[in-house]
Structure 1
């Protein structure tokens, strides 16, 4: 616990022999004589004291102990001119009950010893300040000063300066990658501290020698020195030093693969009192690294976030580079490739700035790994060669193992088999010499991958060795890779039963890992980044008996679909903010305010500044998503943060008129899965690429209402029907309701406009049956389970613009311009006649975002007729335009929608492209629909493309008329679409097929 301190003036002048004790910053008057040297001791007992000696306003000297919060600092000042001096002490990091003692030991005539002592202390303070800056130039300047002190501070009176200078010089050399020179200076410092019998210094020297040995892969020697360091630091009561040594021991455990032990060691270090921000940030970054290795990505991200906040606050550029380098690895694991590349590059540039060659080598290695995962083998090999050169120069053996392992894989992919084999062999020797067990695991995995096409038995053996070692070490991410490798190998060998077994284990491991990722977009990207695991598992089911295969395949497909949405739905509760700590609510509001302010700034900036601000915006949105998740969890402590990974079809969910059509797109073939009348049927359909090729011209033609293109468009829609739905036609006899769970490019074409018969007058699917879409069967089941509680009727918003000319609005972040929508008011004008007193209509300036927040949660039906936009950079910034007022900006954005607590059985989003968003593998289209389902909606009406407002007004009028007669959303939409399609001027699918019912739309 630290206390806030104020400066207190000590009134009585100090004289020789006085001893005083304080717990606050002080100003002390010293009565002295010219020609005499003052010798004072400031003994810190649980605080950090910086002492400055003044003559009036002139600073004569500064002393800042490098001993942490415990220990003495000797102040010697040869006073040749002054009769009265002031000693000012500035106290920080004061522990509870911490104090410091000042003793004026002597005042003797000035001699050469006094002069040299003062000169060394000045140089040491200057050198340590440069050392802390940490960039290349500052380190070089610090080394010059340390070298001068080490060479000149001879004799018994100056041994302390000599020892500290040697030790600090060694550390500077480590930072610049000169390990052998560094060890010589560390040893010299240890000898001198030992001669002085200085426990603090001996502990520090042993710690530095141990840390250096670990970096060079000499783990036993490192632990020996660090154990001695811990003993001496405890004797010296050097809590900060104890924490540093515990941190270094934890790093060794991590390198040896004992991540659990390392994690608890880091946590023990973090719990010690007296840590400054630099150390605390370093420990947090290391803790994050270990949590990341264990697959605890959510905890790791939080540790890195806290570390970066501290490092930016104290401008610790080297520490920030290390943390960014580690954070980029999480982005890589989650599949945020661009963000990973930018962060690795930023880390590399910071390492270069501070002259840290070792750090630069690590960042270059990681850039090479990123290129490897992208399959850019030439760039990967170049980066790995560069990293190997740097790390070999600085003697960083553990990292050199990682470089050679990745380099060996790249060489194999480039056909350089002999070079690959020798590089893997070198990596293995280095790993065994350094006792680097995770490195051996990585070598076994990458060499098995490299050999998988050349030497089957060797590849299988490598994967198995990697699996066994990963399980021993608790390396779950590596275990997943080995399981996937074994499954793929067995499938190639035709051993389908073994392949299914391994692939099932891989899917289960992947599910275990994803639960440890932060709920929301990070979890979605994590699963998408590992899509190959599910793809392999789905194909491995080919060998099952025909009667078992369709159900097994559908359940596995469902295990891959809309999982993050299902997790969010599992955490949904109606308690609102009940039980949520005020601090979390305030944090959410503060983040919303920051996002709005930043959006306003973005519109005024040029391209360079916009790029920086957009990066800030991305971080704010991630933080907001995290806090919204905390609010949901805090409002219902019993709620889950994930849905059960295993999916089973319910036996009594569908009636005899309903069929579910689920797709899984893959190569070389895709799957059409039909659940109808209590059974599942499967059909092989063309691969993803063939379907995409057909869909591309359809999307271009369907969004442009060119009359003469209708025959060509209908022919393509019929061809698509034949490709993706006709194979199941015999199973759909008597079905009147089709519920689609789409995949991939199929999200680009509404199923309602598939053409069943292209001869003469075409028949569209929606003319025959009701059509709705669900993100997945699992999410549909979860949405239907929500009991309706809203008591009010319909709430509608339209044309949120001032009357008159010049009322266009610009959305700050996207810079899009939007003008009035006069037909949208016509769209809602007759709703009071249909719904009576239950209808509340807000249009023009009255259609505010504040009204939506206040009224939305109370209404069963919400209708918004306005503009919408999908933000290309971050889906969280996509939004729907409402009117601004004193309390809101009039932009109802996705990140805000996710924080709402709605209870609507139907939300109509009568705006452009509200079915749009960002496509993420497995999740489908993430945007407005996911946000509104998370917020509490049971069904939605959304649009697939920019709609024409007059035709939309007609369609919505017909929809509400039909819905009022029979409240079934899919049926009401079918009625409206058929009526608009039957009018000559709006027969093109552009006018009537844009809107689709999503969610529980067939439920009455």
Structure 2
């Protein structure tokens, strides 16, 4: 502990030096290291104060990056800062379960993933500037460039020999530019609230998630993976429950195995192993909330390798495999639950989201749209190989008819539009 305290003393001496030099990036790194050191000393409240200051600076620096790619890159590079903050809040929740630390951890999870995701959605949309005064947009971009240049110039000045008058003048110029920039943004918000809402996304709080994204028949399951431990939040319109899960390496190894087995599902051995691995992963991810699932619609916000796992295919408890026509040797399942359930999709509507905040943005976007006159449901099973048994095993006449319906197969070349739905329809 003495080494940690000594390191903390050194960091405390270095912090004002970085601040005086205007080096915000090094200031963030120093605050982050201080927070980790405070945590090792079991000073959780002090650690929280330091990391919150650091994240505040991270957010302010993010807004100064000139493009979406740089903003996303910068925020992504600080992902470990958010993971640390989430873990810290959940540790505080264990000590003070009635203080709302778990809700703050959920909001931190949304902050970590939602801003870059929302900004990616925003800048990928067409015509988001429609209706905005072109002169205002031009002025906004010009001021942003001037701010970036002026900040860089100020940092160069402060890092070398300078007088107090020079530093004060540089600070004054920067403040004046910032004031002009904020005034232009205020005009844009007034004249085009839709554009402002899209270009300045705000991750939702717990209360906002409950009000805007959930109803009585919907359950939000949000996962975040961490180096030492992971977490799951189960949220309804009136409650939040949090659970500690295994560390990232353990979960991602299980998820990777399931994903690889799914890609080999045509092989009998792979199907058998998939049933076992799927049951283990399901117990790992859903076992804590099995009694809350009921028949609810599930909004699933995953993280890391979990984004590659189709939750709909994972087995759910509460319904025996025989009830949905599955043929699984239950005696081979070595999981806490002796019976393997049906796929989650058999009992639940599954909606996968990059973040809960994204759902609110999408709903606002859809609110003003006119519904289409007709709906089309497409059921498809893609053909990826020329030796697909659904074609090869048919009698000549049937095969010829199949080729007529799928003329691109007759040339031996596979096109992206060549889809075989026979098997899927036959099983209905």
TM score, norm. by length of structure 1 = 0.29
1:645-724 equivalent positions in 2, closer than 5 A = 647-650=205-208, 651-653=210-212, 654-708=214-268, 709-724=270-285
CA distance in 1, matches of 2:423, 2:133: 45
Q: 1:747 to 1:826 in 2, by over 3 A?
A: farther
Q: Following TM superposition, where does structure 1 have runs of at least 4 consecutive aligned residues deviating by more than 4 angstroms?
A: 568-575, 577-581, 757-760, 790-796
Given candidates 552, 555, 566, the residue that maps to 2:118 is 566
Shift of 1:516: 1.1
Shift of 1:705: 3.4
- For 2:144, the equivalent position in structure 1 comes to none
Given candidates 751, 756, 760, the residue that maps to 2:316 is 756
CA distance in 2, matches of 1:539, 1:487: 12
- For 1:464, the equivalent position in structure 2 comes to 12
- For 1:549, the equivalent position in structure 2 comes to 101
CA distance in 2, matches of 1:476, 1:469: 11
- For 1:532, the equivalent position in structure 2 comes to 80
1:86-97 equivalent positions in 2, closer than 5 A = none
Contact 2:245 2:284 in 1 (8 A): yes
Deviation by residue 1:83-129 (Cα, 9 ceiling, x = unmatched)? xxxxxxxxxxxxxxxxxxxxxxxxxxxxxxxxxxxxxxxxxxxxxxx
Deviation by residue 1:673-692 (Cα, 9 ceiling, x = unmatched)? 11114211111111111112
Q: 1:794 to 1:748 in 2, by over 3 A?
A: same
CA distance in 1, matches of 2:242, 2:22: 39
CA distance in 2, matches of 1:720, 1:791: 39
Give SS of 2:211's match.
coil
Shift of 1:746: 0.2
Q: 1:788 to 1:577 in 2, by over 3 A?
A: closer
Give SS of 1:652's match.
helix
CA distance in 1, matches of 2:363, 2:262: 32
Given candidates 25, 40, 65, the residue that maps to 1:477 is 25
CA distance in 2, matches of 1:475, 1:520: 23
- For 1:789, the equivalent position in structure 2 comes to 369
CA distance in 2, matches of 1:771, 1:645: 22
Shift of 1:568: 4.8
- For 2:159, the equivalent position in structure 1 comes to none
CA distance in 1, matches of 2:220, 2:35: 30
Shift of 1:950: 1.2
CA RMSD of aligned residues (A): 3.6
Shift of 1:472: 2.2
Contact 2:103 2:206 in 1 (8 A): no
Shift of 1:576: 3.6
Contact 1:559 1:647 in 2 (8 A): no
Structure possessing the higher relative contact order (Cα contacts under 8 Å, 6 or more residues apart): 2
CA distance in 2, matches of 1:826, 1:770: 33
Contact 2:106 2:206 in 1 (8 A): no
Q: 1:723 to 1:649 in 2, by over 3 A?
A: same
CA distance in 2, matches of 1:694, 1:568: 29
- For 2:141, the equivalent position in structure 1 comes to none
CA distance in 2, matches of 1:777, 1:576: 26
Q: 1:779 to 1:529 in 2, by over 3 A?
A: same
Shift of 1:556: 1.0
Give SS of 2:244's match.
strand
Q: 1:466 to 1:647 in 2, by over 3 A?
A: farther
Structure with bigger gyration radius = 1
1:95-494 equivalent positions in 2, closer than 5 A = 455-494=3-42
Give SS of 2:420's match.
helix
Residues 1:746 and 2:302 aligned together? no
Deviation by residue 1:172-227 (Cα, 9 ceiling, x = unmatched)? xxxxxxxxxxxxxxxxxxxxxxxxxxxxxxxxxxxxxxxxxxxxxxxxxxxxxxxx
Give SS of 1:673's match.
strand
Matched positions, count: 315
Shift of 1:455: 2.6
Shift of 1:580: 4.7
The gaps in structure 1 that reach 5 residues or longer are 1-452, 585-632, 799-821, 828-843, 845-865, 868-910, 912-947, 956-978, 984-1004
Residues 1:949 and 2:419 aligned together? yes
Contact 1:698 1:717 in 2 (8 A): yes
Shift of 1:456: 2.4
Shift of 1:759: 6.0
Shift of 1:494: 0.5
Contact 2:282 2:315 in 1 (8 A): yes
Q: 1:701 to 1:949 in 2, by over 3 A?
A: farther
Say which structure is richer in strand.
1
Q: 1:750 to 1:492 in 2, by over 3 A?
A: same
Q: 1:467 to 1:570 in 2, by over 3 A?
A: farther
1:509-528 equivalent positions in 2, closer than 5 A = 509-528=57-76
Shift of 1:783: 1.0
Give SS of 1:561's match.
helix
Contact 2:18 2:26 in 1 (8 A): yes
Q: 1:759 to 1:530 in 2, by over 3 A?
A: same
CA distance in 1, matches of 2:42, 2:314: 38
Deviation by residue 1:888-918 (Cα, 9 ceiling, x = unmatched)? xxxxxxxxxxxxxxxxxxxxxxx8xxxxxxx
Q: 1:472 to 1:637 in 2, by over 3 A?
A: farther
Contact 2:107 2:203 in 1 (8 A): no
CA distance in 2, matches of 1:560, 1:475: 23
Contact 1:519 1:564 in 2 (8 A): no
Deviation by residue 1:132-174 (Cα, 9 ceiling, x = unmatched)? xxxxxxxxxxxxxxxxxxxxxxxxxxxxxxxxxxxxxxxxxxx
Q: 1:476 to 1:954 in 2, by over 3 A?
A: farther
Shift of 1:570: 6.1
Give SS of 1:714's match.
helix
Deviation by residue 1:59-102 (Cα, 9 ceiling, x = unmatched)? xxxxxxxxxxxxxxxxxxxxxxxxxxxxxxxxxxxxxxxxxxxx
CA distance in 2, matches of 1:658, 1:504: 32
Q: 1:575 to 1:505 in 2, by over 3 A?
A: closer
Shift of 1:501: 1.2
- For 1:838, the equivalent position in structure 2 comes to none
Give SS of 2:76's match.
helix
Give SS of 1:672's match.
strand
Contact 2:211 2:237 in 1 (8 A): no
Contact 1:519 1:568 in 2 (8 A): no
Contact 2:114 2:203 in 1 (8 A): no
CA distance in 2, matches of 1:645, 1:783: 13
CA distance in 1, matches of 2:45, 2:205: 21
CA distance in 1, matches of 2:299, 2:405: 31
Shift of 1:696: 2.2
